[in-house]
Structure 1
Amino acid sequence: MLKMLSAGACGIALPQVVLAKFGRLAKPVKLGVITDLHQDVMHDAPQRLDAFLATMKRLKPDALMQMGDFAVPKKENQKVVDSFNQAHDTVMHVIGNHDTDGGYKKEQVLKAWGMEKRYYSKDVGGLRFLVLDGNDKGSPTHKGGYASYVGPEQVQWLEKELEAYDGPVVVASHQPLAGHYAVNNAKQIQQILSKHKDKVVISINGHSHIDCLLEIEGVHYLHINSASYYWVGGKYKHESYSKEVHAKHKYIAATCPYKESVFTMLEFDPVAGVVKVQGRMSEWVGKSPQQLNVPKIAEKEKEAVIVPGIRERTI
């Protein structure tokens, strides 16, 4: 059964070292998060976004964030982008690797989404969000395919931001900074964040389409699941919807879709000293990855990470 669990349910226990700065928040900060909507893959992406926006209208977070693989900047997609931008006074965008598919340029994405910069900082209720662009080219270890790298310009900026700011920080990126599918220079970024673990409350990402939490050297890394599906690839193509849907949306066959839209709200609670992750579990449409014999991902956290939803969290 699909439901958005109560804001007070469970939380991530933060390292003791960060609590002093985190405790400076005057009150809890609530962030509504959706990622990997894939407007250009899913036939029902607008309805999935509508479900998120309707829930957030009821929950009244302090800001909204979409974490990439949202919608390429073509004219037909502008209505979806505008719906998100007009839903709240404070919205944040993160650029995903698929947002420039079809030959679009990053500058076109910035213009269509109303972004001033591809990476930036944003203060919400005393909590500073540092938003990165994980699509830089130039990685010395790039092995083909989409770029997955935080380049030297951003690394320098990130270090300066963390040095200069003395309050609590959340780092957001599309590609993970740790764990499965992490950026090529993940260790470099992890070292920077761990150096400032007294400020870094958590690092959040999309991209992986899994529900996963890691802790590395005093910093938590939360993989937020896709709103729409788990990607299984061409080897596991199958039909989850009608032939008409698959005829018009060819990439859906390489996915295991979620029946309902998946998203979350994060509540940064300085009194309890936790980040509360609201759960929202759906179910598979058609065959699951397990039924298709898709290989499991090896997890250090010893839990299944390929699931049709986001679980409420506590450690």
Structure 2
Amino acid sequence: MCLRCPGTRAAVGRCQRPAAGRLSGGSRSGIPIVPGFSSPQRSARRSGPVFATDSIRHVVPNNAGGRVTDVMNESSPGESSREPRLERRGFLNVATAASLAIALPGVSTAAVRALRKPVRIGVIADLHHDVMHDGGERLDVFLEAMAVKRPDAIIQLGDFAYPQTKNRAIIERFNQAHENSLHVIGNHDTDAGSTTAECIEMWGMPDRHYVKDIDGIRLLVLDGNDAGSPDHEGGYPRYVGPEQSAWLKTQLKEIDGPIIVACHQPLAGPWAIDNAEEIQALLEAAADKVILVINGHSHIDHVLRVRNVTHLHVNSASYQWVGGDHRHESYSKEIHESHPWISCTCPYEDALFATLTVDPATHQVRVEGTSSCWVGKSPAELGSHKNPALIHGEQIAPRIRDRRLVRVRD
């Protein structure tokens, strides 16, 4: 159901809600937010995003082999082993819940207990400022919400904005919004002649992969854009090469505290990196420390657990990609003329993003998401089917759900 339009199907139909309170369709100049969000300022031009409340609670048994997804979806025969199947024995209970959280694997709860207080991180993925006409406004909505949430850090998970002079203002808005504004490099961030080195310099990154302490949580950021994969089948690289994998192995071994791993490309699930099993083995060896892996790139709302490590696919802030075979117009002709790639997307009416809270008292990671509706036709209406393992209205939806995955104890 569309959360904003009772009685309509957001996943397959159009939002019938009046336009008031939505993104205006034009970019704003930005809002002043000081580092650390000490002086939040809310804009009167917009009522803000609608937060999801129709989340689903999934109870998964300990003996499920560590390979479960968060929806009742049987994978199609012949599907890549990178996307584990959900076995029906893994579903013991499905019920509605107002708030959903990822229950940490038992081996990692000790690491979380070491935290002094709950740690909160604001997350946004795949803004695609150079595709969308309203990328600046979408970012402002995220920053306004974070000014209220007051997280300990904010992170963008890639496909953000080309590291070019024309984008300096939006990059600086993000960087100046918080003293811990963090970046991950996406595959499209080096389009239009841009380079990884330019991303590092203009975005203010310490390196293309790095470690950052966030109040006791160690964030390990990877660059999934390495060349040299022996399994590369064309298109953009999806690979964590030998130098990075060796670095990751060292960090996972030497770090004592709780760890979150971030990469633009998935390390498990749909469109995972070419050497996903290699990296998953490294993560499994440190499963007593790794509490969560987060990624963008897939533009889906999805959670799965692989080899005792939980992976969260963070949906795009802006749209679902449907490609040239499904070109259509969701906005005015003027917007499509100035931003032609929008015709290959199904945009979200509102910016999507999430807040992660690691709570040492409950040993959980709470995921607080946002919800919206499609602008114009949905992917289902257009007949777009990207992956047989994904369901319209579940993983393919204009939302990031609040979540709770609970494993039943023996």
TM-score by length of 1: 0.97
* Partner amino acid, structure 2, of 1:106: T
Question: Does the Cα contact within 8 Å between 1:264 and 1:279 map onto a contact in 2?
Answer: yes
Of 116, 126, 140, 1:50 maps to: 140
Aligned partner of 1:267 among 333, 351, 357: 357
The answer as to whether partners of 1:173 and 1:204 remain within 8 angstroms in 2 is yes
> How big is the shift at 1:100?
0.6
Give the match for residue 161 of structure 1. 251
> Are 1:209 and 2:281 matched, yes or no?
no
Determine whether 1:292 maps to 2:354.
no
Matched, 1:309 2:390: no
Partner of 1:4: 51
Matched, 1:283 2:373: yes
| 1:254 positional shift | 0.2
Counterpart Cα distance in 1 of 2:363 and 2:224? 29
* Residues 274, 301 of structure 1: alpha-carbon distance in 2 compared, 3 angstrom cutoff: farther
- Choose which of 320, 339, 343 in structure 2 pairs with 1:253: 343
Structural mapping, 1:1-315, within 5 Å: 1=4, 2-4=49-51, 9-295=99-385, 297-299=387-389, 304-315=394-405
Runs of 4+ more than 6 Å apart: 300-303
The one-letter code matched in structure 1 to 2:50 is: K
- Classify the secondary structure of the residue corresponding to 1:170: strand
Q: TM-score, normalised by structure 2?
A: 0.75
Distance 2:105 2:393 in 1: 21
Distance, in Å, in 2 between the alignment partners of 1:89 and 1:174 is: 22
Contact 2:291 2:310 in 1 (8 A): yes
Identity score, percent = 51
The structure with the largest alpha-carbon Rg is 2
Q: Which runs of 5+ in 1 are unaligned?
A: none
Q: Residue 309 of structure 1: SS of its match in structure 2?
A: coil
- Which ranges in structure 2 are unaligned for 5 or more consecutive residues? 5-48, 54-97, 406-410
Would the aligned equivalents of 1:214 and 1:301 in 2 still touch at CA under 8 Å?
no
Residues in 1 aligned to 2:401 and 2:316: alpha-carbon distance in whole angstroms: 13
Q: Give per-residue Cα distances to partners, 1:189-211, cap 9 Å, x unaligned.
A: 00110111000001000000000
1:213–1:301 CA contact under 8 A, matched in 2? no
Q: Aligned AA for 1:3?
A: V
Deviation at 1:104, TM superposition (A): 1.2
Q: Distance in 1 between matches of 2:339 and 2:391?
A: 35
Q: What is the CA-CA distance between 1:303 and the residue it aligns to? A: 7.6
Q: Residue 382 of structure 2: SS of its match in structure 1? A: coil
